[in-house]
Copies of this chain bind each other. A is one copy, B any other.
Amino acid sequence: ERAGEREGEGERGPFSSMSINSRKVHRVCVVGGGSWGTAVAKLVAANTLRHAEFCPTVTLWLHDEKVKPSRFSEARWLSDLINTEHTNPKYLPGVRLPDTVIAEPDLAKAASQATLVIIAVPHHYLHTAMFTKILSGCAPNCRVCSLVKGLDVVDGRPSLVSDRMRRDLLGLDVAVLMGANIAEEVAASQFSEATLGTNVAEDGPIWQRVFNTENFRVNVVLDATGVELCGALKPIISLGAGFCDGMDCGANTKASIIRIGLEEMMRFSKLFFPRTRTRTFFESCGVAELIVSSYGGRTRLCAEAFVRATRARKTRSWESLEAELLNGQKLPTMERLQEVMECIRVLPPRQVARFPLFSAIYSVAFRGAPPERMLKLPERVAWRRKTQGLQLFGGGPLAWITIFFIAVVMASTVLLLVFLAERRRIASSEQ
């Protein structure tokens, strides 16, 4: 039945509405029909209708499954529900999707002729076969944007998911979009922001036109690495914020933990990826997302419950908390925290000591340390004598370059004087 249904639909399939029009230079495909992927497809569909250079249809690849749209109705394929009822009752209930969002369970077909592919699948579902299929379908000048939050570890060092994508997609350009984005709020067109990081300057305006709407502000930064690291490291801090809530800490304490966490995120990023920019952490992907997930969010919820159970001497496993509180969803934070700690623990001790909060959160979450351990951070020696030395331009590289520069100018002046003196000597000797 299923196969026939799909064959019959082939004639009026996903691309029938796409006229081959030379002005329509971009076709968008969203890979991943979870809550965030679906919300993004809705968002993008509004822009593809608005701007002339886009083909209006947005294809949405999803892992097809039978879903009951309501309690008493029959189970139907999720892709059919999206294509006929224009809703995704399983992952984004109550939101009407535009007619131009077309679900397609065959990935190669969904990505066919796409020039812009948006990847929104959870980190642990990413695999090489997926990229091979995308690559087989998409247009040769295709650009990719990753919404995947995660971090790979290769030989004890963190490795970006977008770098894996670039490799597996044979060098296609990969941008990243992160930010304070709860799918339900974005789908309901509430005002929010996001940060698009790219390493290819020309791609900034293209992606901005794909995502930016009146209520979804996209800021472009030329620092894809920083943006991706913000998204990857953030859940560790929301775990810490949850521990604070579990201990009934005051507002000051929680804000301090969030701030110290932001600082360690920056330190981690700069240590392993020295080109990360400080300003990126002020963008939506940094400060704003940290606030959202430290005051709401699933990770914070589980962390609070974990600490309350520990303090009541009824230690709970993370698996049981997930099962009880998250309605079957997984907590990606725990894996992330272990990956990050893997990278930190192989560092020399002097470097490990620069991540006291990350280490404390890890000890509380996995080593049975009391949650108060998080508030016993070693006193930060804020006052480094070195700041008393060179204060030119804040003592950074600028100061050293300036000093070196002055030295070179002085040396060349001396050389010039010697040269002139020599000439005069020769001139006088010639006389």
Binding site for B on A (CB under 8 A): 180-182, 185-186, 188, 190-193, 201-202, 204-205, 208, 212, 214-215, 217-222, 249-256, 258-260, 262-263, 266, 277-279, 281-284, 287-289, 291-292, 295-296, 375, 377, 379-380, 382-383, 387-388, 391, 394, 397-398, 401-402, 404-405, 408-409, 411-412, 415-416, 418-419, 422-423, 426
Is the pair A201, B258 in contact by a Cβ cutoff of 8 Å? no
The answer to whether A219 and B382 have CB atoms under 8 Å apart is: yes
A397 to B383, CA, bound (A): 27
Given contacts A222-B391, A405-B408, contact A190 B284 (CB under 8 A): no
Instruction: State the CA gap A412–B253 with chains docked (Å).
Output: 57
Interface of A is mostly: helix
- Ordered by A's residue number, 24 sampled pairs between the chains whose C-beta atoms are within 8 Å are A180-B252, A185-B252, A190-B249, A190-B250, A190-B253, A191-B249, A191-B252, A192-B253, A204-B387, A254-B291, A255-B288, A255-B291, A255-B292, A256-B284, A259-B284, A259-B288, A259-B291, A277-B394, A287-B287, A291-B291, A401-B401, A405-B408, A408-B409, A415-B416
Distance in angstroms between the alpha carbons of A10 and B422 in the assembled complex: 83
Query: Given A185-B251, A382-B219: A415 and B405 within 8 A (CB)?
Result: no
CA distance A120 to B315 in the complex (A): 45
The distance in angstroms between the C-alpha atoms of A202 and B385, with both chains bound, is: 10
Determine how close the nearest CB of chain B comes to the CB of A258; give it in whole angstroms.
6
Taking a contact as CB atoms under 8 Å apart, the answer to whether A382 and B208 are in contact is yes
A263 to B258, CA, bound (A): 18
Q: Would B190 and A222 count as touching, CB distance under 8 A?
A: no
From A413, which residue of chain B is reached at the shortest CB distance?
B412
* Interchain CB contact under 8 A, A291 and B258: yes
Q: Give the 8 A-B residue pairs with the shortest CB-CB distance, closest first.
A: A412-B412, A192-B252, A219-B382, A185-B250, A259-B288, A255-B288, A191-B375, A201-B388
Contacts of A218 in B (CB 8 A): 382
The answer to whether residues A255 and B401 also contact, given A202-B388, A278-B278, A423-B422 and a CB cut-off of 8 A, is: no
With a 10 A CB-CB cut-off, give which of A188, A254, A377, A423 has the most chain B CB atoms: A254
Contact of B219 with A380 in the complex, beta carbons under 8 Å: yes
Q: Is the CB of B415 within 8 A of A190?
A: no
Choice from B182, B186, B201, B255 contacting A180 with Cβ under 8 Å: B255
A295 to chain B: which residues have CB within 8 Å? 251, 295
Collect the chain B residues with CB atoms within 8 Å of residue A185's CB.
250-253
